[in-house]
Amino acid sequence: MANHKVLLIKRLLPLSRKWKKRRYRQGLIRFFEALALYLKAGFALSYSWAETFKTLESTLIEDLRCDLKGTSGEETDEFSATTTLKTLRDQCRIAPYRMWFGVLLELYETGAQLTQGVEAVVLSLRREQERELEAHCRSLPVKVNVVLMVFFLPPTFLWIFVPIVLEILSEFK
């Protein structure tokens, strides 16, 4: 099957979108954990961001990699934390996370301590993940029962009733 068709099917599947969002969040947690470590050690955000990205690049999913890659400043070729955070604030693929980038940008621009902000993002994302995992585990037995009833009961009924119906019909002939 052509690649674009596979992509189309994947986009149509709501489950696929859900998994993608979870993987995106998982990557973001790892990224911010490492970033917090750099910031704690006293490195500047631009350097920390670029170094963390370089290290974790291979482990991130495609979408997150594109989002976090960052853009070079227009005047210099150096990595610009402000531009990247601005882009993420306006165009992050998962809309509710844009707020976090906005907060980080504001902290960065006002020259405030970033470590605690980044750690708060990690904590919040972790809690969100935990909640979702709990909900997933809670709802799974119900979902499994529904699937069992929808897909496995009809074949059972088919094997029970079809021979009987056929036998009755043959009596009438």
Residues 10 and 16: beta-carbon distance below 8 Å: yes
The least distance separating another protein from the CB of residue 9, rounded to whole angstroms, comes to: 13
Q: Between residues 33 and 63, which has the closer beta carbon with respect to another protein? A: 33
Binding mask 80-119 for another protein (x = CB under 8 A): ----------------------------------------
Q: How far apart are CA 90 and CA 93, in angstroms?
A: 9
Give the shortest CB-37-to-another protein separation in angstroms.
5
Give the interface size with another protein as a residue count (CB under 8 A). Answer: 45
15 binds another protein (CB under 8 A): yes
22 touches another protein by CB under 8 A: yes
Q: Based on the shown chain and the rule CB under 8 A, indicate whether residue 137 belongs to the binding site for another protein.
A: yes
Interface with another protein by CB under 8 A: which range of 1-9, 90-98, 104-112, 138-146? 138-146
